[in-house]
């Protein structure tokens, strides 16, 4: 057994795409009930594709327990959301109405924020619980990962850091990133070995450099634009406009750079059981390349497909309005199939390659110590992510 | 058959490269390694399970179903990875339940209970609590807000029916408009209405009319084409005014606002899920309760009576709807929300028998103008 381990990812596009299409189709025909099993099966695939030292990870979650957890969450959310929605409607803050005036538009934006704020603590709570659930259902070499209970503490801290972040215009973002990750990492275990997040939050500022450059370009070009427009008219305005555009692109790339930088830094400064250390060498360029190429291919493909479907429905408009049921069903089926394919493509062309990149660039040092780690007792409280499922947090997988 | 497998006992992170041998007579797989307790372990072939949806095609990961008497969990934590192709094919052939998913006893009951509780909670919300709240709120909501909302509903409906812009479907022939205004005036002069009515005609062939919150009523051209007398139109209009006055549409809109969020929650966010939500909401929304329909009918009959018009027109209209139901497939909404047309026609006829002398709502010339309301002026 080697003392240094490098991660390897074995997933294949075709197999995962077929699994996604199959499970999504089952989800569709069961009016959504199969989605818990679908998500579980995708996770099983991705976990088992990742391996260290030749040993695959294992995801032991089941669709059934997710379904049961969802049923509990829904009882609480049903009451909560039903009442909130109707109250909002009553106060004229309806989300489903076209705004007629500026006042209404503002009220609508306000309503969206109120709805979001009303569920934000629940979403943060769900976020922690979802990670805890995933940890409790992950194994490597038969040893369970785990996470201590602490979802409300996380939700409270996250709210606090977000408020701080907004008040300082994002200047304290590294503090929020670091402290929240530390809160979760310090409560994480592999078997009987505990993780510890070391490092300093100030170190993350180095990763913010491109964000600051992008912001700087935007601010400076705004000033220049104002001055130039007053002095030289159209020519100055065009240059200023281009500069702002460059600034925005720089900022977006800078944000991606920061996320990758923070992931690498935080991974490098994690210690397991006081002995085992890690190194992550993800590259922003590679991640962006995967993301941009994938997005372009998918959007071009989907643009063509939806264009064709749209064209068909417009030419058959009369037949559709007359209630030609088979045709209606046919077009609805085409539309849903296109959606399924788009989802599957984004999984195998963006999500999976980025995971693959992360796994392949992860190194574990002093890995011999892993042999001495013992199994931990099962986390009884880490039940399925009912709230996370109901509120759809957690994104792709 | 001999091969090597990687064994994890589920207790420590220690990996053991065990020697594997299938004993076909005893129907077991033997794992041998000096560090195993007693030097070897025997896995019954029928208790071996393979991990599902495993990404790697060059290996299988095996686990062992626990003996119920010894272990509370169904699956033991030990894992065995096999990469030898021959061994994999032999095990695939010899293990009868390799792909079986073991489910704990009592799972069915647990699922049934939780589904029951969740369904009851949602049902309670959608059918009891939200309607009750909607009833209360509908009487409290300020009229201006109702009117503003009603207008957006009409605009949305117009776009749904193919109008390119707001007012794109509206029929505005001045003579027809005058006839419609006269009809409205005659219907409403006797009673005191809570709402200022805003009645329009859409140039669409659907045989229908609908009311939106805050006094908005829309008649479709198809209804004008189909009706034989102006009194039939008046009767339908009076029926819709009944819905407006009883705030049925506002109540429905409030209910829909509450239940839309719920349904989206239950159905989840899968491809085209929102389409299902919209459809479900629509069905929920399109049907007033039977009581609301009956009340609107009574309102319409009384309004016709007060206007000195023949209430039997409502019955005649129901008869023609009944015929339509059998010949045309494109009328689901109006008919689904008006289920017992024959009974209701009967009620209207009984009412009409008690009426005294009546006069038609419009004269022939005005009726012709109303029917041509969607044609350009001067024709």
Residue by residue, pLDDT tens for chain B (379 residues) are: 688 999 998 888 888 999 999 998 989 999 999 988 888 889 999 989 999 999 998 999 999 887 654 444 677 788 999 999 999 999 999 999 999 888 877 888 988 998 998 888 888 887 887 778 778 777 777 777 788 878 877 887 787 777 777 777 888 889 999 999 999 998 888 777 888 889 999 988 877 888 888 888 989 888 888 888 899 899 989 988 988 888 888 887 777 766 766 776 777 654 445 555 555 555 445 556 677 888 888 898 989 888 888 888 888 887 777 665 544 434 444 444 445 677 788 888 888 888 878 888 888 889 999 989 888 876 5
User: What is the per-residue pLDDT for B281?
Assistant: 53
Cβ contact, residue pair A86, B11, below 8 Å: no
User: Could you tell me if A79 lies within 8 Å of chain B, comparing CB atoms?
Assistant: yes
Work out the pLDDT band at A279, boundaries 50, 70, 90. Answer: very high
Map residue A122 onto helix, strand or coil: helix
Q: Using a CB-CB distance cutoff of 8 angstroms, which residues of chain B are in contact with residue A46?
A: 55
By CA distance, what is B109's nearest residue in A? A68
The alpha-carbon gap from A204 to the nearest alpha carbon of chain B, in Å, equals: 34
User: What is the per-residue pLDDT for A317?
Assistant: 66
Residue A374 lies in a domain: no
Residue A248 lies in a domain: yes
Work out the pLDDT band at A396, boundaries 50, 70, 90. Answer: very low
Residue A321 lies in a domain: yes
Q: Using a CB-CB distance cutoff of 8 angstroms, which residues of chain A are in contact with residue B330?
A: 321-323
Other CB atoms within a 10 A radius of the CB of residue A397 amount to 14
* Domain termination site, one of A220, A238, A268: A268
* Domain termination site, one of A213, A238, A268: A268
Q: Given A46, A64, A371, which is nearest B13 (Cβ)?
A: A371
The alpha-carbon gap from B199 to the nearest alpha carbon of chain A, in Å, equals: 20
Q: Are B337 and B292 in contact (CB under 8 A)?
A: no
On the 0-12 / 13-18 / 19+ scale of CB atoms within 10 A, B38 is: exposed
- Domain edges within chain B: 2-94, 115-371
Cβ contact, residue pair B121, A79, below 8 Å: yes
* A15: Cα separation from own chain's centroid: 22
Cβ contact, residue pair A142, B79, below 8 Å: yes
Strands B198-202 and B216-220, how do they pair?
A: parallel
Cβ contact, residue pair B141, A83, below 8 Å: no
Most confident among A221-235, A317-331, B174-188 (mean pLDDT):
B174-188
Q: Using a CB-CB distance cutoff of 8 angstroms, which residues of chain A are in contact with residue B325?
A: none
The alpha-carbon gap from B15 to the nearest alpha carbon of chain A, in Å, equals: 7
User: Could you tell me if A305 lies within 8 Å of chain B, comparing CB atoms?
Assistant: no
User: What is the per-residue pLDDT for A92?
Assistant: 55
Tokens matching residue B87 = 């061994």
Tokens matching residue B276 = 């299902």
Domain B2-94: CATH architecture, name and number where available: Roll (2.30)
Q: Do residues A260 and A217 share a domain? A: yes
User: What is the per-residue pLDDT for A16?
Assistant: 95
Residue A376 lies in a domain: no
Q: Do residues A187 and A229 share a domain? A: no
Q: Do residues A83 and A185 share a domain? A: yes
Model confidence over A367-389: pLDDT tens digits? 999 988 998 876 665 555 556 65
Is residue A318's pLDDT more than 70? Answer: no
Q: Do residues A195 and A207 share a domain? A: no
By CA distance, what is A190's nearest residue in B? B13
User: Could you tell me if B329 lies within 8 Å of chain A, comparing CB atoms?
Assistant: yes
Tokens matching residue A353 = 């390659």
The alpha-carbon gap from A74 to the nearest alpha carbon of chain B, in Å, equals: 7
Q: Which residues contact A313 (CB under 8 A, 6 or more apart)?
A: A320, A331
Secondary structure letter of residue A378 according to DSSP: P
Return d(Cα B94, Cα B24) in angstroms, integer: 8
- What is the per-residue DSSP string for B155-220? HHHHHHTT-SSTTSSB---HHHHHHHHHHHHHHHSSSPPSS--EEEEE------EEEETTTEEEEE
Is residue A351's pLDDT more than 90? Answer: yes
Percentage of the residues of chain A whose pLDDT score is greater than 90: 47
Q: Using a CB-CB distance cutoff of 8 angstroms, which residues of chain A are in contact with residue B12?
A: 143, 371-375
Return d(Cα A387, Cα B122) in angstroms, integer: 16
Return d(Cα A231, Cα A224) in angstroms, integer: 10
Q: Using a CB-CB distance cutoff of 8 angstroms, which residues of chain B are in contact with residue A327?
A: none
Q: Do residues A195 and A68 share a domain? A: yes
User: Could you tell me if B267 lies within 8 Å of chain A, comparing CB atoms?
Assistant: yes
Among B102, B95, B69, B214, smallest CA distance to B153 is for B214
Q: Given B10, B111, B271, which is nearest A340 (Cβ)?
A: B271
Sheet of B28-32: strand order equals B40-44, B28-32, B16-23, B2-8, B79-82, B60-64, B48-50
User: Could you tell me if B263 lies within 8 Å of chain A, comparing CB atoms?
Assistant: no
Cβ contact, residue pair B81, A56, below 8 Å: yes
Percentage of the residues of chain A whose pLDDT score is greater than 70: 80
Model confidence over A54-85: pLDDT tens digits? 899 999 888 888 888 888 877 777 777 667 66
Q: Using a CB-CB distance cutoff of 8 angstroms, which residues of chain A are in contact with residue B108?
A: none
By CA distance, what is B11's nearest residue in A? A375
Q: Given A11, A71, A141, which is nearest B13 (Cβ)?
A: A141
* A110: Cα separation from own chain's centroid: 25
Q: Do residues A18 and A89 share a domain? A: no
Beta bridge partners of A277: A271, A365
Cβ contact, residue pair B117, A68, below 8 Å: no
Task: Show the domain range for A260.
Answer: 202-268
User: What is the per-residue pLDDT for A294?
Assistant: 93
User: What is the per-residue pLDDT for A234?
Assistant: 66
Secondary structure letter of residue B376 according to DSSP: P
The alpha-carbon gap from A282 to the nearest alpha carbon of chain B, in Å, equals: 23
Q: Given A28, A88, A142, which is nearest B77 (Cβ)?
A: A142
Q: Do residues A157 and A231 share a domain? A: no
Classify A274 in phi/psi space as left (phi over 0), alpha (psi -120 to 50) or beta.
left
Q: Using a CB-CB distance cutoff of 8 angstroms, which residues of chain A are in contact with residue B329?
A: 323, 325
Cβ contact, residue pair B13, A390, below 8 Å: no
Residue A158 lies in a domain: yes
Cβ contact, residue pair B14, A78, below 8 Å: no
The alpha-carbon gap from A141 to the nearest alpha carbon of chain B, in Å, equals: 6
Return d(Cα B144, Cα A103) in angstroms, integer: 14
ipTM field: 0.79
Q: Which residues contact B321 (CB under 8 A, 6 or more apart)?
A: B207, B334, B335, B338, B341
Among A61, A67, A60, smallest CA distance to A27 is for A67
Q: Given B134, B260, B265, which is nearest A96 (Cβ)?
A: B260
Q: Given B13, B79, B121, which is nearest A191 (Cβ)?
A: B13
CA atoms within a 13 Å half-sphere pointing along the CA-CB vector of A75:
14
Residues 39-68 of A with CB under 8 A from B: 41, 44-46, 48-49, 51, 54-56, 58, 64, 67-68
User: Could you tell me if B115 lies within 8 Å of chain A, comparing CB atoms?
Assistant: yes
Residue A367 lies in a domain: no
Residues 289-328 of B with CB under 8 A from A: none
Cβ contact, residue pair B55, A322, below 8 Å: no
Other CB atoms within a 10 A radius of the CB of residue B106 amount to 8
Secondary structure letter of residue A205 according to DSSP: G
Q: Do residues A236 and A162 share a domain? A: no
Cα A352 to Cα A48, A246, B373, distances in angstroms: 13, 29, 60
Q: Do residues A195 and A64 share a domain? A: yes
User: Could you tell me if A118 lies within 8 Å of chain B, comparing CB atoms?
Assistant: no
Longest Cα–Cα distance of chain A, Å, equals 73
User: What is the per-residue pLDDT for B340?
Assistant: 64
Map residue A343 onto helix, strand or coil: helix
Residues 68-87 of B with CB under 8 A from A: 77-79, 81
Q: Which residues contact A224 (CB under 8 A, 6 or more apart)?
A: A236, A239, A240, A243
Q: Do residues A101 and A176 share a domain? A: yes
Q: Using a CB-CB distance cutoff of 8 angstroms, which residues of chain B are in contact with residue A323?
A: 329-330, 332
Work out the pLDDT band at A115, boundaries 50, 70, 90. Answer: low
Count of domains observed in chain A: 3
């Amino acid at each position: 057994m080697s003392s240094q381990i490098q991660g390897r990812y074995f997933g294949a596009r075709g197999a995962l795409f077929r699994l996604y299409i199959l499970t999504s189709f089952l989800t569709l025909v069961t009016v959504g009930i199969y989605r818990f099993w679908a998500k579980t099966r995708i996770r099983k695939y991705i976990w088992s594709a990742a391996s260290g030292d030749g040993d695959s990870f294992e995801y032991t979650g089941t669709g059934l327990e997710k379904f049961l957890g969802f049923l509990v969450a829904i009882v609480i959310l049903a009451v909560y959301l039903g009442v909130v929605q109707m109250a909002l409607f009553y106060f004229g803050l309806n989300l489903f109405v076209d705004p007629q005036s500026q006042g209404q538009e503002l009220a609508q934006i306000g309503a969206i924020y109120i709805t979001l704020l009303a569920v934000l603590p629940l979403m943060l709570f769900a976020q922690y619980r979802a990670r805890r659930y995933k940890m409790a259902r992950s194994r490597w070499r038969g040893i369970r990962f785990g996470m201590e209970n602490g979802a409300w503490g996380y939700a409270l801290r996250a709210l606090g850091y977000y408020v701080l972040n907004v008040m300082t215009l994002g200047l304290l973002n590294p503090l929020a990133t670091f402290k929240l990750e530390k809160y979760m990492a310090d409560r994480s275990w592999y078997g009987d070995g505990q993780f510890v997040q070391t490092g300093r939050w100030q170190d993350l500022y180095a990763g913010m450099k491109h964000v600051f450059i992008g912001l700087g370009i935007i601010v400076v070009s705004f000033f220049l634009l104002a001055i130039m427009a007053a002095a030289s008219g159209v020519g100055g305005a065009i240059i200023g406009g281009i500069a702002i555009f460059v600034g925005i692109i720089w900022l977006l790339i800078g944000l991606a750079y920061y996320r990758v930088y923070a992931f690498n830094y935080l991974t490098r400064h994690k210690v397991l059981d006081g002995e085992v250390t890690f190194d992550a060498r993800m590259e922003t360029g590679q991640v962006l390349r995967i993301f941009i190429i994938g997005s372009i291919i998918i959007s071009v493909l989907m643009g063509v497909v939806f264009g064709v479907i749209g064209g068909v429905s417009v030419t058959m408009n009369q037949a559709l309005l007359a209630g030609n049921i088979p045709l209606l069903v046919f077009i609805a089926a085409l539309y849903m199939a296109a959606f399924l394919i788009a989802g599957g493509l984004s999984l195998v062309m963006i999500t999976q390659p980025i995971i693959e990149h992360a796994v392949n660039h992860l190194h574990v040092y002093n890995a011999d110590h892993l042999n001495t780690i013992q199994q931990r007792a099962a986390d009884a409280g880490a039940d399925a992510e009912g709230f996370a499922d109901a509120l759809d947090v957690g994104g792709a997988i | 058959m001999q091969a090597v497998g990687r064994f994890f006992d589920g207790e420590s992170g220690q990996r053991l490269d065990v020697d594997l041998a299938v004993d076909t007579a005893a129907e077991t797989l033997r794992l041998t390694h000096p560090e195993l307790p007693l030097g070897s372990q025997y896995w019954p072939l029928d208790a071996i399970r393979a991990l599902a949806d495993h990404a790697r095609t060059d290996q299988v990961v095996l686990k062992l179903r626990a003996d119920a008497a010894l272990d509370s969990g169904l699956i033991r934590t030990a894992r065995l990875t096999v990469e030898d192709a021959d061994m994999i094919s032999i095990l695939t052939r010899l293990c009868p339940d390799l792909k079986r998913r073991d489910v704990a006893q009592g799972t069915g009951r647990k699922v049934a209970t939780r589904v029951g509780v969740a369904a009851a909670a949602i049902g309670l919300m959608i059918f009891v609590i939200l309607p009750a709240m909607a009833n209360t709120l509908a009487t409290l909501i300020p009229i201006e807000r109702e009117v503003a909302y009603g207008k957006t509903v009409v605009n949305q409906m117009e776009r749904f029916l193919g109008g390119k812009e707001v007012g794109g479907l509206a029929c505005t022939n001045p003579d027809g408009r005058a006839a419609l205004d006269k009809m409205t005036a005659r219907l409403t002069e006797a009673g005191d209405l809570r709402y200022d009515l805003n009645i329009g005609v859409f140039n669409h062939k659907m045989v229908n009319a609908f009311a939106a919150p805050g006094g908005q009523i829309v008649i479709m051209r198809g209804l004008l084409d189909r009706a034989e007398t102006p009194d039939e139109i008046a009767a339908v209009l009076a029926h819709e005014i009944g819905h407006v006055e009883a705030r049925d549409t506002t109540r429905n809109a409030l209910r829909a606002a509450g239940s839309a969020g719920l349904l989206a929650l239950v159905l989840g966010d899968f491809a085209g899920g929102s389409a299902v939500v919209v459809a479900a909401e629509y069905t929920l929304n399109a049907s007033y309760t039977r009581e609301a329909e009956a009340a609107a009918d009574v309102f319409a009959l009384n309004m016709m009576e007060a206007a000195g018009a023949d209430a039997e027109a409502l019955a005649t209209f129901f008869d023609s709807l009944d015929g339509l139901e059998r010949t045309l497939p494109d009328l689901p909404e109006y008919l689904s929300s008006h289920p017992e047309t024959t009974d209701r026609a009967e009620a209207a006829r009984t009412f009409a028998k008690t009426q005294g002398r009546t006069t038609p709502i419009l004269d022939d010339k005005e009726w012709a103008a109303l029917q041509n309301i969607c044609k350009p002026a001067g024709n």
